[in-house]
Amino acid sequence: MIFTVLIPLLLACFVPLISKIKDKIHTGIFVFFIPLAIFLYYIQFVGSDFTTVNQTVDWIPALGINFDFYLDGLSLLFVLLISGIGALVVLYSIYYLGKGERLGHFYVYLLMFMSAMLGVVLSDNIFVLYTFWELTSISSFLLIGYWHFNERSRYGALKSMLITVFGGLSMFGAFILLSVITGTTSIQSMIEQKDIILNSTYLPFILVLLLLGAFTKSAQFPFHIWLPDAMEAPTPVSAYLHSATMVKAGLFLVARFSPIFSGYEWFFIIVSIVGIVTLCWGSYMAVRQTDLKAILAFSTISQLGMIMAMLGFGTEIAVYAAVFHILNHATFKGSLFMVAGIVDHETGTRDIRKLGGLLNFMPMTATLALFGTFSMAGVPLPFFNGFYSKELFFDSSIDLTAGISGFADFLVQVIPYLAVFGSIFTFVYSMYFFFGVFGGKKQFNLLPKKPHEAPIGMLISPIVLVLGVIIIGLFPNLVNGTFLAHAADAIKGAVTADQHIKFWHGWDSPAFMMSLIVVGIGTILTFTRKKWAGVYRFLPGKLSLFKFYDIVLDKLNSVSNGVTKQYMTGSLRLYVAIILGTTLTLTFITMGATDGFTIQFNNLSDVRIIDLSVVLIMIVAAVGTIFARHNVAIILIAGVVGYGVAVLFVIYRAPDLALTQLVIETVSVVLFLLCFYHMPKLRKRDETKRSKAVNIVISVGFGALMTIIGISAHSSKWFDSIANYFIETSYKLGGGHNIVNVILVDMRGFDTLFEITVLGIAALAIFSLIKLKKNKEAD
Amino acid sequence: MEIIISILAGILFATAIYNLLQKQLLRIIIGTVLLSHGAHLFILTMGELKRAKPPILIEGIKDYVDPLPQALILTSIVISFGITSLLLVLTYRAIKENKTDDMAQLRGEEHEYE
């Protein structure tokens, strides 16, 4: 199994090589065989005697992260969809994309995506699942932005990336919680331990985070806004990613984890509500669109909402209907996208207002569209597979039993009405799609090209998909026992194996009555569509979530920009103030909280007049630097402090220090005096009162802090000094009487070595600063 | 006496930081100089200011002041001298090139984030 996941990725490495010879053969022809081979490999698992298959390949065993692949009914359904539709899409793209396009890029991204998607549906390990999950986001980003010179493409790619990665990271959070609680990284062993998860206090977090991942990926309300903008991708991509595979990853996730959560009432409430709302909103919005692909995008959103709702219901029949509709939707929606691509390709526009009357010119395409749209609408004829799953959907919405809480109870009452409401609009936009393009008046003067039938190669893929629609419609039990039942089993347990799909439910069946209502009202609404135009235009109006997203993104940008501007002013003064203020506050708080200030007055040396007078002079000089108004004055006053330090070194028995300090202070003062001539005169400090107060608080606070630290450090000496060692061994080991010098060159010679280096570097730097000038005119 | 020297070090720190927070480059360098003076005194105080002989071995005397802080301070004096002189020359060059010593005017402009 692992090879089927990795082979597309491996072969993607060779695609750029192959694409170099595109003048003779289209790259897609080579690529076509990859999904085909995978499809043929998995077809062998289909059958009524299906059993699950496991395979493990070590990756990071120490963390419990391994490629644990697990093939059950659900994964098998998805794997067949991904590889089967993948092959058809590659075939379609051979005719859709000319040799002038950057084919190498296209097929590398596509194979990357295929590999990621197979990984998502086959992984049993949550972290491996997450890895592949993000890889689908990334490859989808690349595919949407395929025509990167197009501004709308880049916008759509970024939007889908932001939203799906937001969801992906939420999901990652849920995964971490799950693995911490259960102590395992395998989904199957989590299902075995579901009691632990259901009794955990983190259950609400897990559920919400997990569902965020699923809802963003599957374009559920209100995260559906990325999908219509993803329509800027080439049509094969839209057909593959944004109808048949990637957007179903969220459904897969919900289905995969529903054995754990199905007993939890909030799972039912959240998933059902979001699904139903998405169904209604998506189908309503689809009616308003004028672009073929936009209609299909909103239609996808609404259909995904319907499947999501069924997964939320969680009853046997609902789960069965959900997997059935996943299959059906993939067939008819894939073919419809291809039809939209053909229409675009052959007429030069996708604007439904310019199209019309194409039936005679594109009879094949029209037939394909007819099957696709009527199946999508759920027209009650036995060769439209959409009708079956829609019937099952109605069945399951009625079939719901009352929940425990009042709210769930209320929900159970409302759901059937909402289901019918959403389906009516589904019918309306399906009819609009078909009759808007193929029926009505001819208006070829509006079209950029003269329309004609598509080449046969382009038609093969939609023909295969439409044959799927018809065959599943006529012989539903062909897919029923062989793999749909196994898929439902994987979600719900062994009870659904003998679901029987019937076309005829009988006149008295409520689901059939609901279908009739949908068709009836839908037909009326379709014929009177023009009268409703005002309502359609009015309703989301300013409430559009698209605008909301733009505003939020804009606000995030401007607010964070504003915040950064507040403190990143470019003023070093402010940065120093912030650094010192933070240090001051943190140190005071820490010292205070840990009782760090101890002040004792024993063990002090005596105070003498001479020391005191030096100290006083230094204090006066130090304070004087603040008030000095002249360059020479400030330099000399600072010099007084330096010489004061030297005197203190004399008093406190440090002859070497005193010597060094005297020399260095003298040299420093000389240096300062050398420079002062070139420095502008000291000005009056132009401080505002406020900044002056802040400066005083910071500097006085810092001085006080250091004083207190000094005193308390002196008051709490915990160990004896190691001075005795140096005093005793200075002569014995170092052979010198001057202990300080012995320390500097013998005991701690490394300090001195690098101190010399520092001086050397400083000297070199000064030299180059003065000598080397790139700009000769300055100076 | 240790307490008085600690207070002196504290005052040196306070004046140093007040100077650091000014806009003129010369004041800022004076601030760094004062800061290193304060730090040196701080280290000296930590080694106790007891009355004993300077750390030069003389036959028959046992009681010396702590030599280690002195060695540390000596290293530090040299390093801060190197830094101060570099800063000074840097300032000199900066003033020559930019014709100003005002930190408020020495902000980045074109590459600053708007």
In sign, the C-alpha dihedral spanning A363, A355, A302, A550 is positive
Q: Are B79 and A700 inside 8 Å of each other by CB?
A: no
Q: Which of A645, A667, A679 sits opposite B40 (nearest CB)?
A: A645
- A164 Cα to chain B: minimum distance (Å): 29
Q: Do B22 and A573 touch (CB under 8 A)?
A: yes
A340-379 in b/e burial notation, b at 16+ Cβ within 10 A? bbbbbbbbebbebebbbebbebbebbbbbbbbbbbbbbbb
| Highest averaged pLDDT of the listed ranges A69-78, A542-551, B92-101 | A69-78
Which residues does A703 contact at the CB level (< 8 Å), separation at least 6?
Answer: B10, B11, B12, B13, B14, B15, B17
Which of A740, A744, A753 is the best mutation test for B, with the most CBs of B within 10 A?
A740
Of A219-228, A435-444, A561-570, least confident by mean pLDDT is A435-444
Task: For residues A619-648, give the mean pLDDT.
Answer: 91
Interface touch B4/A607, C-beta < 8 Å = yes
Question: Above 80 in pLDDT, residue A373?
Answer: yes
* Mean pLDDT (whole number) for A76-92: 91
- In angstroms, the CA B31 to CA B84 distance is 10
Q: What is the pLDDT of residue A22?
A: 59
B25, B29, B66, best to mutate vs chain A, most A CBs in 10 Å: B66
pLDDT of A106 above 50: yes
What is the structure's pLDDT at A604?
A: 78
A235, A237, A238, A240 alpha-carbon torsion, rounded to 10°: 120
Distance between CA atoms of residues A309 and A322, nearest Å: 9
Confidence at residue A494, expressed as pLDDT on a 0 to 100 scale: 59
pTM of the model: 0.83
Cβ atoms < 10 Å from Cβ of B45: 24
Q: Which residue does chain B place closest to A650, by CA atoms?
A: B54
pLDDT tens by residue, A426-443: 988 898 888 888 887 777
Of the pLDDT bands very low, low, confident and very high (cuts 50, 70, 90), residue A500 is: low
Q: What is the DSSP string of A222-285?
A: TGGGHHHHGGGS-HHHHHIIIIISGGGHHHHHHHHHHHHHTT-HHHHHHHHHHHHHHHHHHHHH
Q: Which positions 670-699 of A are in contact with B (Cβ < 8 Å)?
A: 671-672, 675-676, 678-680, 682-683, 685-686, 695-696, 698-699
Tell me, what's the pLDDT at A448?
A: 72
- Closest residue in A to B58 (Cα) is A737
Report the pLDDT value the prediction gives residue B113, as an integer from 0 to 100: 47
Checking if the pLDDT of A656 tops 60, the result is yes
Q: DSSP for A424-455?
A: HHHHHHHHHHHHHHHSS---GGG-SS---PPP
Q: Do B64 and A671 touch (CB under 8 A)?
A: no
Tokens of A466: 């439409």
Q: Contact A710/B10, CB-based, under 8 Å?
A: yes
pLDDT on residue B104: 76
**Highest averaged pLDDT of the listed ranges A153-167, A365-379, A457-471:** A153-167
- Average confidence score pLDDT of chain A: 86
Residue B114 has pLDDT above 50, yes or no: no
Please identify among residues 59-98 of chain B the ones whose CB lies closer than 8 Å to any CB of chain A. 64-68, 70-71, 73-75, 77-79, 81-86, 88-93, 95-97
Contact A711 B6 (CB under 8 A): yes
Q: In percent, how much of chain A has pLDDT > 90? A: 30
CB–CB contact A704 B10 (8 Å): yes
d(CA A292, CA A306): 21
Query: CA-CA distance, A310 to A491, in Å (whole number)?
Result: 12
E strand or H helix at A60:
strand A53-60
The full set of domains in chain B, from first to last, is 2-107 (1.10.287)
Mean pLDDT, residues A664-682 taken together: 86
Test B1 with A726 for CB contact under 8 angstroms.
Answer: no
Touching check for A635 and chain B: CB below 8 Å?
yes
Smallest Cα distance from A719 to chain B, Å: 12
B43 pLDDT exceeds 60? yes
Lowest mean pLDDT among A26-40, A350-364, A548-562: A350-364
Q: For A447, what's the count of Cα atoms within 13 Å in the CB-facing half-sphere?
A: 21
CB B8 within 8 A of CB A647: no
The mean pLDDT value for A458-470 works out to: 88
What ipTM goes with this model? 0.94
Cα angle: A564, vertex A567, A572; to 5 degrees = 130
